[in-house]
Amino acid sequence: MSAGKLKIYAGKVIAIDGPAGSGKSTIARKIAERLGFEYLDTGAMYRAVAWVMREEKLDPDKLDDFEYMRNNWNMTFHYDGTRTVVHDGSRDISEDIRNEEITAASSAVALRPRVREFMVALQQQRIARGSVVLEGRDTGTIVAPRAHVKIFLVADPRTRAERRFLEYMRNGIATSVEEQLEKMAERDRQDSGRSIGPLAKAPDAIVVDTTELNIEEAVEAVLKVCKTRMSPATTSGGRQ
């Protein structure tokens, strides 16, 4: 699509939520690329919190430790065309935040209300500028309740576990589909069950089931929804 044609979408906000393995990250990145938007990986931000807590031996339940983390927060996030690059100051922690330990710890740290409040404030600073696709668990409900487009991705648990298994295999991490099925069920339970900012579909989100779709098909399905919702005839001026 030409840059001229994309201009009609400039400034819009797209919120994509869903459980692990639903295809969220890949789809959100590709949608951002196709529309010339920025991509905001909110999960990477919770992972960075979990990483720094562990690195600095901080306890998220202790107010002083949390304040220390917040006052010294020096994380930057950008998408380099293939992955979210995360720096703590000058240190590249992009790989470190993806290991299994930090994956589990990020879900646990994301239960803390003060952590969520801090993250949501940072995310809202970014979406105020528009032209962004954000991806996570609560982006359509809490972070950007007035997003122009809200998508909730779903897929059956086995398909999600198989996708996660293949991803780990590609990265040289030994695991099994059964193990991923179990870990995912636990993470889903934790992410959906928390009282603040749970994994949830916004009432006005469009559900896209990716179980039977390959990535290209899923991207096309989501892009179609985005374009319809963002077309001048259907938008009502919503923002964050």
Of 29, 88, 106, 240, the one binding ligand DC (CB under 6 A) is 106
Angle (nearest 5°) at CA 226 between 224 and 229: 110
Of 14, 23, 42, 69, the one binding ligand DC (CB under 6 A) is 42
Q: Segment contacting ligand DC (CB under 6 A): 28-36, 104-112, 158-166, 222-230?
A: 104-112
Residue 191 near ligand DC by CB under 6 A: yes
- Residue 205 CB burial class (10 angstroms; 0-12, 13-18, ≥19): buried
Of 48, 58, 110, 133, the one binding ligand DC (CB under 6 A) is 110
CB of residue 65 vs ligand DC: minimum separation in angstroms? 19
CB of residue 170 vs ligand DC: minimum separation in angstroms? 16
Of 18, 60, 136, 140, the one binding ligand DC (CB under 6 A) is 136
Residue 141 near ligand DC by CB under 6 A: no
Specify the pairing of strand 38-41 against strand 132-136.
Answer: parallel
Q: Provide the mask over 14-33, with x wherever binding to ligand DC is found by CB under 6 A and - wherever it is not.
A: ------x-------------
Angle (nearest 5°) at CA 22 between 45 and 158: 125
CB of residue 139 vs ligand DC: minimum separation in angstroms? 6
Q: Segment contacting ligand DC (CB under 6 A): 8-16, 135-143, 175-183, 217-225?
A: 135-143
Q: Which of residues 155-184 bind ligand DC (CB under 6 A)?
A: none
Residue 187 near ligand DC by CB under 6 A: yes
Measured from the CB atom, the residue of 43 and 60 that comes closer to ligand DC is 43
Residues of this chain that bind ligand DC (CB under 6 A): 20, 42-43, 46-47, 106-107, 110, 136-139, 187, 191
